[in-house]
Structure 1
Amino acid sequence: MKKIILIICWALVGLGLYSCSLDEPSYGKTTSDNYYQKESDIEQALTGAYLQLRTTWNEYALNHYFIGDCTTDDALKGGGGDGDRGEVRDLANFTVYTTNGEVGRRWEILYRLINRCNDVIYYAPNAIGDKETLTRYANEAKALRAFGYYCLVTTFGEVPLLTEPMLPAEILMVPRSSVEKVYEFIIEDLNAASELPAKGFYGAEDAYRVTRGFAKTMLAKTYMFKGDFSLAEAVLHDIVEVDKDYSLLSDYGMNWRQEYENGTESVFEISNKVYDKTIATGTNVPHFFTSRRVSGYQGYGFHVPTQDLYDAFDADDPRITYVFTQTGDRYVGDTEDQDNAESQSGYHDYKMTVPMVEKTGFDVWMISYNIRLIRYSDVLLMYAEVLNENGKSMQALTYLNDVRRRARETNPLDPRRDKQAYVPAVTSSSLPDITETNKEKLKEIIWHERRCELAMEGWRRDDLMRQKRFGEVMRGYAAKYSTDKGANFQDSRDYLLPIPQGERDKSQNVLSQNPGY
């Protein structure tokens, strides 16, 4: 949101208000009773909450992709060798130490998010200002706090449940809450946040605020992770058939073009638009994922699509164009072809590749590019899945085929490239509608469709975990490709990440450790 981005500089200047001393847990802080007195204070505090997902050099999206994809069969770590970002290699190989930096980063970012949300929620009711606006700010914070706890509980299991501002000494004594209790808290927050305005409510200045659609989508994800398909269906029915806040873009590739940022398909984007080149509001994540060998890109080469992911697509699926960058591709305006010689699979991540012509005038570390975190096609495929689980396979086909229809009608020639190494040979027979109604067979088809539709968007681990086949898939991957990736997966250990040892030390072992670490 432009309004929020333009006051980020206030948040950066005011970080002293939020900072933690060295002996505090990364999720702890002291609040100021003298500050949160009026509506503008609450708005700025909410800006500080949004900011936690996109702080330069500590962006949540980078962690989301590393943990969400590189630990799965969809993506290799990449980079300049085993030692380059070695903590991601350890995650991918399931040889994770409790001191793993990427694990600690996830914990820190999400608790900092929760920390700031707690301020807004606690102080907003008594602040001076328009009560309707203050309630909306509190509900936005609840939606963001619930997102933070969802990402924590689905990767760490039991976690400390902090529900209001606390002193550091108090926080150190908070033990981990049960998974069920955390889920209950998430659901309570998201039910409140479901009263937020619809996507179309906001003007251009506030276009990137979280909405009722985001809250309900996260609520559906929560119910699905819990295996409660009945409640998930009710929420998804609301989103798809009652609210109707979203629609699929007509072409799959539109989702990653500048002119369609925050378009009709976008449920949640992390805004990184650069409005003022003197303020560092861009993102450096795309630079991590592009080719290391091409002038104007010269990225770090991480988050590399696997051959296994490529082979999951039908050869005539137009989505191949918009998932994989291949050697020989050339973006419009470039003078060099893409060169993926240092990629282990020969591919790079199209969805996080920003062409040079779209970066003109910006520092390579401050790219004006939004992170597309949740799209409506994800919602439609979730709806298809829960309908099938609830014995409504014929209804499920409607939403599954909506996604497939859009895919087959997508232009296999990328308008952002003037050279394309591979063009899917799309015909009228490509990606035909699914007619299978056997529950178990259709479930497999929907799971496969999710893999292709949402490829490289950071949700693969989440899906494999809630489908309870993470270990099976990863051990199968290791055997198929004779690789360490997945070979060490232990079901009793690797569905969860370790609690960061530094946090346990600060708590003097009030925080227990997950099994196997």
Structure 2
Amino acid sequence: MKKIILLGLLSVMVFSGCESELDQAPISNRSAATFYNNETDFEQAIVGVYNALSYHSGSQFYLSEVRSDNVYIAGLAGVREWIPITNLSRTLGNSITRTAWDAPYVGILRANTVLDKLNEAAVPDQTTRNRMEGETKFLRAFFYFDLVRFFGGVPVIDRIITPAEALEIPRGTPQDVYDLIVSDLKSAITLLPNTPSEAGRPSSVVAKALLGKVYLTMSGPTYGISGPGLGVDMKSDALTLFNDVISSGQFGDVPSYATIFNSTSENNADIVFAIQNINDGTGGDKGIGTILPTLMYHESWARVHLPFAGGSPSDGIVTPSNQVLNSFEASDVRDDYSILRSWVDDTGGLSTDAMIVKYLDLDSNDEPIASTLPVDRFNWGVDFPVIRYTDVLLMKAEILIQTGGSQTDIDKIINDVRNRAGLGTVSNVNLDVLLEERRKEFYGEGLRFHDLVRTGKVIDVMNAWIAVDDAADVMNQMEANFIIYPINQSQLEVSPGLYEQNPGYN
């Protein structure tokens, strides 16, 4: 995927004429009619759909990791946009939530355009055409899965529409959104090859992994809101899909935790699907690298250890919560790899403001490896793991716990993960133990809030944490309404009355 991702920069131009109007929903592009003439054109256009994934890591970090008990930001002196997210504010519309709505719809626009134009005359080979359709439907489902988890019901648009039509399409229900997601992923499973055509592209097995996570999310409780959980029991369907992924033999154990994320060992056996990022060494925000590490490290650390600016500033510093820092056992290698607990600051002193360094490729002296540094803070080349094999295994264990499955199988899955982390075995693992293991295994990967919501634990766990860790007394209590985010005011004003604001927000 990395060798062709640069083509996305060209294909983005095909769509760019209308995206400035994409405040509400995807709108068709007149120039697209003359672009799709042959297989190469479609390949470029599909890479443009992949290019739209660039928002995903930042949205998952802010709206799932920062929202959860994994991160604490007092923010007493600042107005940074992530502060109301972590503090459960009722007044929350900002660029972070706006991007989480707008950016997936950019991808949906591109996907709908590709699916509308794909035809036998332009792409005569049926196998190639099937792959193209399967990849595009997988990506469209991916975008909608992000939307339903963050906003609940959203407008469901599965075709090219006009600006006038966009002003008349209301929000669908979460069930409506899931109907399209499930349909697209089932099609992708049928259309895609069994193994990826290239690293970073989905296969039939990858689509099964994502559909399994979708089913598990749908099975979560509703909390009495129009959110991501439907309260339906799809766990057995999810388990079947996860078992298919496991039995495919395409993934397996990676003995070293660091190897999973290291930029020199990308697309290893633990990676089911990852967003591919490139550090091309030339600088400039081309949309082929990721800003994610910059969102995590501290600005004062960067002034000493990096050749460029950036990082979370002192008035809104992103810091692992005390609770998560205290949760790691002494020998847990995931602690050392994911979190830097102390470092030399720009005064030469020792700072104990812990920070997330999972994607920084630090050496044994906690210094960035020079060969992995980008020219600027926008274009780190490290890939972002979306679904890991370890995630599939632990989701299987989650289902077994909830359905009365084999305790031996449950314990083995958890102990295999703990063994790689340098920890001893445990027995009689229950859901709480599993969630704590997931918390440490996937720290910094944007899964924590989703995990708590899916398992029905989010309100109790968050409020128990707030009672202990909110030293600055800046957080609201967690409530069901805060499981999803508000619709940005700009959306509400495009066609007044078309959308209603999600309950709980001003």
| Shorter-normalised TM range | 0.7 to 0.9
Measure the CA separation in 2 of the matches of 1:69 and 1:350: 14
Is residue 2:455 matched to residue 1:467?
A: yes
In the TM superposition, what is the alpha-carbon distance from 1:88 to its structure 2 partner?
1.1
Q: Does 2:412 align with 1:398?
A: yes
Report whether the alignment pairs 1:222 with 2:214.
Answer: yes
Whether the aligned pair in 2 keeps the contact of 1:236 and 1:383 (CA below 8 Å) is yes
| 2:254 equivalent in structure 1 | 249
Question: Is the contact between residue 293 and residue 340 of structure 1 (CA under 8 Å) also seen in structure 2?
Answer: no
The answer (yes or no) to whether the contact 1:323–1:351 under 8 Å persists in 2 is yes
**Distance in structure 2 (CA, Å) of the matches to 1:337 and 1:287:** 21
Name 2:43's counterpart in structure 1.
Answer: 43
Distance (whole Å) between structure 2 residues aligned to residue 244 and residue 5 of structure 1: 27
Q: 2:150 is aligned with what amino acid?
A: T
1:443-462 alignment runs, 5 A limit? 443-462=431-450
CA distance in 2, matches of 1:26, 1:483: 41
One-letter identity of the residue aligned with 1:187: V
User: Residue 157 of structure 1: CA displacement?
Assistant: 0.9
How high is the sequence identity, in percent, across the aligned residues? 28
Mapping 1:335-354, distance limit 5 Å? 341=351, 346-354=353-361
Q: Deviations over 1:97-136 (max 9, x none)?
A: 2532211110011111111111122222455122211221
1:209 aligns with 2:201: yes
Alpha-carbon distance in structure 1 between the residues aligned to 2:16 and 2:416 = 49
Which stretch of structure 1 is more off in the superposition, 272-281 or 301-310? 272-281
Change (3 A) 1:490 1:282: closer
Question: Separation in 2 of the partners of 1:106 and 1:250?
Answer: 35
Residue 90 (structure 1) aligned with residue 90 (structure 2): no
Distance 2:11 2:452 in 1: 37
Q: Which of 102, 107, 117 is matched with 2:96 structurally?
A: 102
> With structure 2 as the length reference, what TM-score do the two structures score?
0.86
- The runs of 5 or more residues in structure 1 that have no matched partner are 331-335, 409-429
**For residues 187 and 33 of structure 1, do their structure 2 counterparts lie closer, same or farther at Cα, with a shift above 3 Å needed?**
same
Deviations 1:394-450 (A, max 9, x none): 322232222122222xxxxxxxxxxxxxxxxxxxxx322x321xxxx6222111111
TM-superposed deviation, 1:516: 2.0
The one-letter amino acid of 2:263's match is: Q
Task: Name the CA distance, whole Å, in 1 between partners of 2:158 and 2:146.
Answer: 16
Which blocks of at least 5 consecutive residues in structure 2 are unaligned? 220-233, 362-367
Which residue identity lines up with residue 121 of structure 1 in the other structure?
Answer: L
RMSD: 2.6
Against the structure 1 CA distance between its residues 36 and 14, is the aligned structure 2 distance closer, same or farther, given a 3 Å change threshold? Answer: closer
Counterpart in the other structure of 1:414: none
Cα drift, residue 276 of structure 1: 6.5
Kept after mapping to 2: 8 A contact 1:156/1:499: yes
- Determine the structure 1 residue equivalent to 2:324: 309
TM-score with structure 1 setting the length: 0.84
Rate the CA distance shift 1:93–1:275 in 2: closer, same or farther, 3 A: closer
**Matched-pair contact (CA < 8 Å) for 1:291–1:340:** no
Give the alignment of 1:418-433 within 5 angstroms: 430-432=423-425
Within the candidate set 145, 165, 171, 2:166 is matched to: 171
Amino acid at match of 1:25: Q
**1:54-100 Cα deviation digits (max 9, x unpaired):** 2xxxx33112101111111001348x864252x21111111142532
Pairing 1:513–2:501 present:
yes
Q: 1:442 aligned to 2:430?
A: yes
1:239 aligns with 2:245: yes
Q: What is the deviation of 1:26?
A: 5.0
Distance 1:125 1:12, change over 3 A: closer
Contact 1:100 1:500 in 2 (8 A): yes
Query: Structure 1 128/289 Cα, relative in aligned 2: closer, same or farther at 3 Å?
Result: same
Could you report, residue by residue, the CA deviation over 1:186-238 in whole angstroms, capped at 9, with x for unpaired residues?
11111111232344x43xxx321122333122111111112221111111111
**Residues 478, 484 of structure 1: 8 Å contact kept:** no
Pick aligned residue for 1:197 from 177, 182, 193? 193
Give the aligned partner of residue 136 of structure 2: 141
Deviation at 1:257, TM superposition (A): 1.3
Matches within 5 A, 1:325-364: 325-328=340-343, 341=351, 346-354=353-361, 355-360=368-373, 362-364=375-377
Provide the C-alpha distance between the structure 2 equivalents of 1:8 and 1:340, rounded to a whole number of angstroms: 43
Distance 1:150 1:13 in 2: 26
Distance change in 2, residues 1:364/1:447 (3 Å) = closer
Whole-angstrom CA distance in 1 between matches of 2:265 and 2:322 = 29
Compared with structure 1, are the counterparts of its residues 136 and 259 closer, same or farther at alpha carbon in structure 2 (3 Å cutoff)?
Answer: same
